[in-house]
Structure 1
Amino acid sequence: MLVRIRSKEGTVRVEVNPTDDVVVLGQKIAAILNIADPVSIMISDQPQVAGARRIFDFWGKSLASIGVQHGDLLFVTIDTSSSEELESTPTLPAVAIEDHTSIISPPMAPVMVDAVDEYLEKQSGLIKRGRDPKFCKHTVNGMCDYCMPMEPYDSRYLEQNKIKHMSFHAYLRQLNAAQKGKDAQAAGSAKAVAPLEEPNYKVKVPCKGRHAPWPEGICTKCQPSAVTLQSQPFRLVDYIEFSAASLIDNFIHYWRSTGCQRFGYLYGRYEPYTEVPLGIKAVVEAIYEPPQQTALDGVALAPQYFGSEEEARIDAVALACGLRRVGCIFTDLIDDGTSRGTVVTKRHVDSYFLSSLECCFAAEMQRRHPNTTSTSYSTSGKFGSKFVTCVLSGNEEGHVDVAGYQVSNTCVAMVDAGIVEPSVKPSVMRVKEAVAGVRYVPEVFYKYKNKYGVNVQESAKPTFPVDYLLVNVSHGFPQTAKPLFTASTPFPIENRIGLDTQDFDALRRYLTVPDFANAVSDFHLLCFVMGMGVLGKLEFETLVRVAMSKDPTEVAKLVELGGWKTLQMVMQESVKAAPQSHLGHTSAVSSPPMSRTGSTASSAAGSAGRAAPELISCRHCTLLNPGTNVNCEICSLPLRD
Structure 2
Amino acid sequence: MVMIRVRSRDGVERVSIDNPNITIGELKTLIESELHVPVPNQTLSLHQNLLLAKSPSDRSQFTDLSNPEIRISSLKIGHGSLVYLSYDGERDIVTSSPRPTITPAGSFGRKMTMDDLIAKQMRVTRQENPHCELVSFDRDAANAFQRYVNDTLAFAVKRGGFMYGTVSEEGKVEVDFIYEPPQLGQEENLVLMRDAEEEKRVDAIAMGLGMRRVGFIFTQAVGQNQKDYTMSYLEVAQAVELHAESGLDQWVTALVKLQVNDDGVADVHFEAFQMSDMCVRLFKEDWFDFQAAKDLDPKVSRMKKDVVVGGKDVQEVDNDFFLVVVKIFDHQGPLSSTFPIENRNFPVTTKAVKTHLERTKSLSFVKRISDFHLLLTLARFLDLNADVPALTACVLSQTAVPEGYQLLIESIANAGV
TM-score (norm 1): 0.48
Does structure 1 retain, via aligned residues, the 8 Å contact 2:276–2:322? Answer: yes
Partner AA of 2:229 in structure 1: Y
Task: Note if 1:252 corresponds to 2:146.
Answer: yes
**Aligned pair 1:574/2:416, yes or no?**
yes
Which of these residues, 250, 253, 261, is aligned with residue 158 of structure 2? Answer: 261
Q: Is the 8 A contact 1:201 1:417 kept in 2?
A: yes
Q: 2:281 aligns with which of 396, 405, 413?
A: 413
Give the structure 2 partner of residue 529 of structure 1.
378
- Could you say which residue in structure 1 is the equivalent of 2:301? 429
After the TM superposition, which residues 367-382 of structure 1 pair with which residues of structure 2 at under 5 Å, given as runs?
367-371=244-248
Q: Does 1:32 align with 2:25?
A: no
State whether structure 2 residue 251 is matched by structure 1 residue 387: yes
Deviation at 1:287, TM superposition (A): 0.3
SS at match of 1:496: coil
> In the alignment, which residue of structure 2 is the partner of 1:294?
185
Counterpart amino acid of residue 321 in structure 2: Y
Map of 1:403 onto structure 2: 271
- The Cα shift of 1:524 comes to 1.0
Q: Distance in 2 between matches of 1:514 and 1:97?
A: 42
Structure 1: which 4+ aligned runs deviate by more than 6 Å? 39-42, 44-47, 96-99
Classify the secondary structure of the residue corresponding to 2:168.
strand
Distance 1:333 1:13 in 2: 36
Task: Say if 1:105 and 1:518 are closer, same or farther in 2 by CA, change over 3 A.
Answer: farther
| SS across alignment from 1:311 | helix
Measured in 2, the distance between the counterparts of 1:233 and 1:281 equals 17
Corresponding letter in the other structure for 2:340: P
1:393 and 1:402 in contact (8 A); partners too: yes
| Equivalent residue in structure 2 for 1:446, among 302, 309, 316 | 309
Provide, for residues 44-93 of structure 1, a one-character-per-residue CA deviation record: whole Å limited to 9, x for no partner: 9999xxxxxxx9xx8xx6649xxxxxxxxxxxxxxxxxxxxxxxxxxxxx
Structure 1 residue 200 displacement after superposition: 4.9
Report the Cα offset of residue 225 of structure 1: 4.1
Return 5+ residue gaps in structure 2 as ranges: 44-59, 83-93, 103-112
Amino acid at match of 2:404: E
Deviations 1:171-201 (A, max 9, x none): xxxxxxxxxxxxxxxxxxxxxxxxxx99959
In structure 2, the partner of 1:484 is 334
Other-structure match for 1:327: 215
Distance 2:348 2:66 in 1: 28
Distance 1:331 1:508, change over 3 A: same
Tell me, in whole angstroms, the C-alpha distance in 1 between the residues paired with 2:362 and 2:66.
41
Distance in 1 (alpha carbons) for counterparts of 2:133 and 2:181: 26
**Residues in 1 aligned to 2:41 and 2:78: alpha-carbon distance in whole angstroms:** 32
Secondary structure of the 2:415 match is helix
* Residues 1:395 and 1:496: Cα distance change in structure 2 (over 3 Å): same
Q: Secondary structure at the match of 2:370?
A: coil
> Between Structure 1 and Structure 2, which shows a larger proportion of strand residues?
2
Shift of 1:393: 1.2
Count of residue correspondences: 354
Q: TM-score, structure 2 length as denominator?
A: 0.72
AA matched with 1:252: Q
Alignment of 1:560 with 2:408, yes or no, is no
Distance change >3 Å, CA 198–CA 356, structure 1 → 2: farther
Are 2:341 and 1:493 aligned? yes
Tell me the amino acid that sits aligned with residue 548 of structure 1.
L
In structure 2, the partner of 1:234 is 129
- Does residue 508 in structure 1 map to residue 329 in structure 2? no
Deviations 1:134-173 (A, max 9, x none): xxxxxxxxxxxxxxxxxxxxxxxxxxxxxxxxxxxxxxxx
Q: Distance in 1 between matches of 2:250 and 2:30?
A: 40
Counterpart AA for 2:99: I
Q: Please give the secondary structure, in 2, of the residue aligned with 1:546.
A: helix
Which of structures 1 and 2 has the bigger CA Rg?
1
Percent identity, aligned pairs only, is 21
| Equivalent residue letter for 1:249 | N
Distance in 2 (CA, whole Å) between partners of 1:42 and 1:446 is: 38
Greater share of residues in helix: 2
For residues 428-465 of structure 1, give each alpha carbon's deviation from its aligned partner in whole angstroms, at most 9, with x where no partner exists: 12223xxxxxxxx3x31211xxxxxxxxx22213x232
Contact 1:266–1:327 under 8 Å retained in 2: yes
- What is the aligned partner in structure 2 of residue 147 from structure 1? none
The structural deviation recorded for 1:34 is 3.1
1:376-400, Cα deviation, whole Å (9 max, x unpaired): xxxxxxxxx3211100013451321
Q: What is the DSSP-based 3-state SS (H/G/I as helix, E as strand, rest coil) of the residue aligned with 2:222? A: coil
Residues 346 and 390 of structure 1, relative CA distance in 2, 3 Å threshold: farther
CA separation in 2, counterparts of 1:281 and 1:16? 38
Q: Distance in 1 between matches of 2:5 and 2:270?
A: 43
Q: Which has the higher contact order (CA 8 A, sep 6+)?
A: 2
Describe the SS at the equivalent of 2:123. Answer: strand
Task: Note the C-alpha offset of 1:545.
Answer: 2.7
Pairwise CA distance, 1:569: 3.0
CA contact (8 A) 2:135 2:173 kept: yes
Q: Does 1:311 align with 2:199?
A: yes
Alignment match of 1:545 (pick from 370, 373, 393): 393
Secondary structure of 1:265's aligned partner: strand
DSSP-derived class of the 2:375 partner: helix
- Alpha carbons of 1:37 and 1:292: their partners in 2 closer, same or farther (altered >3 Å)? closer
- Larger displacement relative to structure 2 (360-369 or 536-545): 536-545
Amino acid at match of 1:324: R
CA distances 1:470-517 after superposition (whole Å, capped 9, x unpaired): 211111214xx3x121x3x6111000023xx41111112211223132
- Is contact 2:367-2:398 (8 Å) kept? yes
Q: Structure 1 pair 310/34, CA: closer, same or farther in 2 (3 Å)?
A: farther
Distance 1:467 1:200 in 2: 24
- The Cα RMSD (Å) is 4.1
In the alignment, does 2:367 pair up with 1:518? yes
| In 1: Cα distance, 2:31 partner to 2:230 partner | 52
Aligned to 1:187: none
1:366 maps to 2:243: yes
Do 1:392 and 1:401's aligned partners in 2 also have CA atoms closer than 8 Å? Answer: yes
Match of 1:271 in 2: 168
Matching of residue 352 in structure 1 with residue 229 in structure 2? yes
